[in-house]
Amino acid sequence: MTLTPPRQTGSPTSARTNAETLPSRSPGVRCFQSAVEFPAALEAIPPARRELHTLLCKSGLAGIADIVALAAEELMANAVAHGCHGLAPDTTVDMAITCDGRQVTLKVEDPSSDLPCVLPGTSDEEGGRGMLLVDAFTDRWGVEKPSTGGAGKAVWMELACSPAEGAEAS
């Protein structure tokens, strides 16, 4: 099932989306899995974030939609700015999200093998706090080989569907 039709190809914000509804294990939360491929361009991130936020809200996860969307935006921005820096204009980034009724897992894949790191934020720097936010707002995150098995990496994050579940897991 596709939640939103793919945008026309050729624009910097075009993306291919594939979404599927899964059986729910939690009342009020609709389980799902979805994947999107978008151009490795910073202007492609806001539409992907909005689409993700909408999916979460429609799935009964409005209570964590802002946090997931913010952390996902940071992973997408890192993938574009660092993982795809200097690569061909047709380079793409893949994002996949799954909700099993108890936990949301989101993964962003890019072609670089350079690992992300959490840097201490300083008051005189504008950037560099993305992974600090991911670390603070998610239950856990990490890096693994991409699902394609090729070069690059997949940075993933997990967050409980409700704050109470995340506190119990800690």
Look at the alpha carbons of 37, 90, 129, 50 in this order and tell me if their dihedral is positive or negative.
Answer: negative
Residue 121 lies in a domain: no
38, 54, 113 from 4: Cα distances, Å: 14, 10, 31
Instruction: Answer whether residue 88 is part of any domain.
Output: yes
3-state secondary structure of 55: helix
The mean pLDDT value for 35-42 works out to: 94
Domain span at 143: 25-113+129-169
Establish if 58 belongs to a structural domain.
yes
**43 domain residue, yes or no:** yes
pLDDT at 2 over 70: no
DSSP strands (E only) in 5-117:
16-21, 32-39, 92-99, 103-110
Q: What share of the chain is helix, strand, coil (3-state, %, to 5)?
A: 30, 25, 40
Split into its structural domains, the chain has a count of: 1
Which of 16-22's residues contact partners 24+ apart within 8 Å by CB, and which partners? 17/51, 19/55, 22/99, 22/100
Q: Is 120 among the domain residues?
A: no
pLDDT of residue 151: 85
Burial class (CB in 10 A: 0-12, 13-18, 19+), 120: exposed
Report how far residue 58's alpha carbon sits from residue 1's, in angstroms, rounded to the nearest whole number. Answer: 14
pTM across the whole model: 0.79
150 phi/psi in degrees, rounded to 5: -85, -155
- Tens-place pLDDT, residues 117-158: 777 766 666 666 788 889 999 999 999 988 777 889 999 999
**In the predicted model, is pLDDT for residue 11 greater than 50?**
no
- Report if residue 145 sits inside a domain: yes
Residue 44 lies in a domain: yes
Residue 8 domain-assigned?
no
> Which residues face 20 on adjacent strands?
33
Which domain CATH number covers 143?
3.30.565.10
